[in-house]
A and B are shown apart, each in its own frame.
Chain A
Amino acid sequence: MDVIYNVMQGFGVALQPINILYCFIGVFIGTLVGVLPGIGPISAMSLLLPITLSGTPESGIIMMAGIYYGSMYGGSTTSILVNIPGEAASVVTCIDGHQMAKQGRAGPALGISALGSFIAGTFSLVALMLVAPKLASVAIAFGPAEYASLMVLGLVVLTFLTQGSMAKALLMACIGIVLGLIGLDGITAQPRLTFGRIELIDGIGLVPVVMGLFGLAEVLLNTEQVIKRDIINAKITQLLPNKEDWKASAGPITRGTLLGFFLGILPGGGAVVASFASYALEKRLSKTPERFGRGAIEGVAGPEAANNAAAGGAFIPLMTLGIPPNVVMALLLGAFVIHGLQPGPLLITQNPGLFWGIVASMYIGNVMLLVLNLPLIGMWVQLLKLPYNVLFPLIILFTIIGVYCSSNNVFDVYVMVGFGVIGYFMRKFGYEPAPLVLAFVLGPLLENNLRKSLILSQGDLMTFVERPISAACLALALLLLVGPLLPAFRKKRELVALDEGA
């Protein structure tokens, strides 16, 4: 009964006209950035982070969340029609989705993608409602040692899943921690690595770092090559999948939803991992795996359900533990902090309207997305024809504006340009920016909890091993660090390693 009462309370918040408007803006922008290759939810969310300041916390966070799960819907449209992933979680949808489109079945591919996303999104919300309060009540017992170990695990999982050399990913995570520690020490108030610049006393802002590494660097990389688009020009008809399509997709959607949700909860995991894992699972389970890559609807239904379920699951660690499991959630944490809120075990009890309002808004957002992505699909197809030589300068303009507005300080524009250049060279040399950004956000929290746990235990390092949750997290982190030294384990890692930042 409590859950029903809480959900009703949540709808009371989410159905306020201003929140409906923010929710619509969020899912609309989410679909837009999902459709447009070269700009993803991370860039869009960091661009709009300053705008959340103007409204209530509920409105701002509802909009930011909408961008994230909205981009999961939009990304599939580009994958199916153009064979370019609109965002990283839709990479696998290209494989079978575009083949279906080439065979004249773009409609069912888009339809099953949107409907599968809707089913998975709705399931993940129900699960979020049921799991989050329970986990929050357990998380109250977490001490600094558990938090420190959980953050270490999150960073190690992300570096493990990052494409390419693990040493490079770990180096990036360390650099992220160092960048996060710039500014005044939270305990001793001593300035660190500020080089006498007053602008650095408060540390480097998250917005310029993310906009530089993901927004500007992405544009710089894209301008290097002539982007060819193989757009399906045939008129898209019959969006609703037929009976056989549903029969083939029911299993993949169910499995993708469950798998995606659990992978979404894991620190370091997320929508990208979930979609790849779902595709691999469906191919393995299929009686006719040779159809995969040639237009199998299961190859669209499973991953699309998985990435949407993961997007919902990813809210659990943030809302209950206050730990962002991926870069997108790190930005959402930024939005909470901007409003003076600290997500964690006490959020649900202290701010029930906010928590349940966000959850309820996601139901509304999912219905909006279904409308935006099925009857209005033609609008997004037109958008795909927007030339890149016009789009890229506009993205650069918006990154500059977004960064300046976040602090009203030109120094942040320098920082953004600097990180844009660094991000470009990082990508060229095979260093992924995702571990750096997650570590940048987690670094100060990790340091704080590590120092607190050492002070509380009077310097006894056994405190990390004697507490079961902390010990389990560290053991898993160690396994993932040492594992790649074994050839068989390394091969498995290469199979699941992903380009998180794309």
Chain B
Amino acid sequence: MTTPARPTFRFNNSELWGGVLGLALGIFVIRAGLHLKLGSINDPGSGYVLFYTGILMCLFAASIIVAAVTEGGPTFASRWDGARWTKPVVIIAALMVYSVALDQLGFLVSTIPLMLLLLRAIDPVRWTLAVPLAVLAPLGVWWVLKRGLLIQLPSGMFEIG
């Protein structure tokens, strides 16, 4: 009987780094629990559950790391094999910029460009449909919320909306 070949250790093993991240989070939670005071078993403090949850996190993360080292795992690049990874990247970047702009510029001024970008970036919608949709959808939502439900969306520095 032959023993199965042990997978070679690779630093770009995504499972390994997922486990390491979990371990780091677990250590952070343990420290937070200790900082908040554990109390005693008959009078548990604010950090009691956090501390023990942190320990469990470290245990589970360690088991993920061990599995990654002994059994191997997919590389980072292979997770995106055949995927159009630029699409989510564009959306994430747009949403991050939008989050910052929303309070500063207001709902209408920031949402109309976001919609136009999304309509053109995912799988380009033709301009003749994208422009009216990007303008009318936020405007319609704004109108319903403001007039119908009396909900004030951010109006920003220009006080539009």
Contact B153 A421 (CB under 8 A): no
Contact of A174 (CB < 8 Å), options: B53, B129, B149: B53
What are 10 residue pairs bridging A and B, where the CB atoms are less than 8 Å apart in the complex?
A170-B56, A174-B56, A181-B50, A185-B36, A193-B50, A220-B91, A223-B88, A390-B125, A390-B129, A410-B102
Identify the closest chain B residue to A426 (Cβ). Answer: B18
A396 within 8 A of B: yes
**Interchain residue pairs A-B with the least CB separation, the first 5:** A459-B42, A393-B118, A459-B41, A389-B123, A223-B87
A-B contact count (CB 8 A): 157
- Determine whether the beta carbon of A428 is less than 8 Å from that of B46: no
Whole-angstrom distance from the CB of B85 to the nearest CB of chain A? Answer: 7
B residues within 8 A CB of A457? Answer: 42
**CA of A429 to CA of B68 in the docked complex: distance in angstroms?**
12
Whether a CB of chain B sits under 8 angstroms from the CB of A382 is no
Contact partner of B49 (CB less than 8 A), chosen from A168, A400, A450, is A450
A461 CA / B52 CA spacing, docked (Å): 15
Neighbour of A389 across the interface among B92, B99, B122, B137, CB < 8 A? B122
**Count of residues in B whose CB is under 8 Å from the partner chain:** 64
Docked-complex contact A420 and B95, CB < 8 angstroms: yes
- The residue of chain B having its C-beta at the shortest distance from the C-beta of A389 within the complex is B123
Please tell me if the beta carbons of B46 and A190 are within 8 angstroms of each other in the complex.
yes
Closest to B65 in A: A167
Across the interface, do B122 and A394 meet the contact criterion of CB distance under 8 Å?
no
| Docked-complex contact A220 and B88, CB < 8 angstroms | yes
Q: A196 to nearest B CB, angstroms? A: 14
Contact with A along B39-61 (1 / 0, CB 8 A): 01111111111100110110011
The answer to the question of B124 belonging to the interface, with a C-beta cut-off of 8 Å to chain A, is yes
Answer whether A174 and B60 are a contact pair too, CB < 8 Å, given A389-B124, A421-B92, A450-B49: yes
Q: When the two chains form their complex, are residues B83 and A397 in contact, meaning their CB atoms are under 8 A apart?
A: no
> In the assembled complex, how far is the CB of residue B23 from the closest CB belonging to chain A, in whole angstroms?
10
Q: When each residue 189-233 of chain A gets 1 if its CB lies under 8 Å from chain B and 0 otherwise, what string results?
A: 010110000000000000000000000100111011110000000
Tell me which of A171, A193, A405 contacts B32 (CB under 8 A).
Answer: A193
With contact pairs A174-B56, A394-B137 given, residues A181 and B49 touching in the complex (Cβ less than 8 Å): yes
Alpha-carbon distance A430/B73, docked complex (angstroms): 11
Q: Does B160 sit within 8 A of A, measured CB to CB?
A: no
Is B125 a contact partner of A455 (Cβ separation < 8 A)?
Answer: no
Contact A192 B83 (CB under 8 A): no
Chain B residues with Cβ below 8 Å from A420 are 92, 95
Which chain A residue lies CB-closest to B102? A410
| Interface flags, B64-92, vs A, CB<8A=1, else 0 | 10010000000000011011110110011
Majority secondary structure of chain B interface residues (helix, strand, loop or mixed): helix
A216 to B94, CA, bound (A): 13
Q: A178-B53, A223-B88, A224-B87 are in contact. Are A454 and B118 (CB under 8 A)?
A: no
Is B85's CB under 8 angstroms from A454's CB?
no
Contact yes or no, B88 A178, CB < 8 A: no
A454 contacts B95, C-beta separation under 8 Å: no
Q: Please state if B22 and A171 are interface contacts (CB–CB under 8 Å).
A: yes
Instruction: Name which of B44, B48, B67 has the most chain A CB atoms within 10 A of its CB.
Output: B44
Residues of A within 8 A of B1 (CB): none
Q: Which residues of A contact B87 (CB under 8 A)?
A: 223-224
Given contacts A168-B64, A192-B32, contact A223 B103 (CB under 8 A): no
Which residue on chain B has the smallest CB distance to residue A171? B60
State the B residues within 8 Å of A (CB): 14-15, 18, 22, 25-26, 29, 32, 36, 40-50, 53-54, 56-57, 60-61, 63-64, 67, 79-80, 82-85, 87-88, 91-92, 95-96, 98-99, 102-103, 111, 115, 118-119, 122-125, 129, 133, 137-138, 141, 145, 149, 151-154
Instruction: Flag if B102 contacts A429 (CB, 8 Å).
Output: no
Residues of B within 8 A of A188 (CB): 45-46
Q: Which of A185, A219, A389, A458 has the most CB of B within 10 A?
A: A389
Residues of B within 8 A of A454 (CB): 41-44
Chain A min CB distance to B101 (Å): 10
Collect the chain B residues with CB atoms within 8 Å of residue A388's CB: 122-123
Q: How far is the CB of B153 from chain A (nearest CB, A)?
A: 7
Given A178-B54, A459-B40, 19 other A-B contacts at CB below 8 A?
A54-B149, A167-B60, A170-B56, A171-B64, A175-B25, A188-B46, A193-B32, A221-B88, A387-B123, A388-B123, A389-B119, A393-B115, A405-B151, A420-B92, A424-B88, A450-B44, A451-B44, A454-B42, A454-B43
Residues in chain B near residue A224, CB distance under 8 A? 80, 83-85, 87-88
Contact: A220 with B84, CB < 8 Å? no
Q: How far is the CB of B56 from chain A (nearest CB, A)?
A: 5
A459 to B48, CA, bound (A): 13
Q: Please, how many angstroms separate the alpha-carbon atoms of A459 and B63 in the complex?
A: 30
Q: Which residue of A lies closest to B124 (CB)?
A: A389
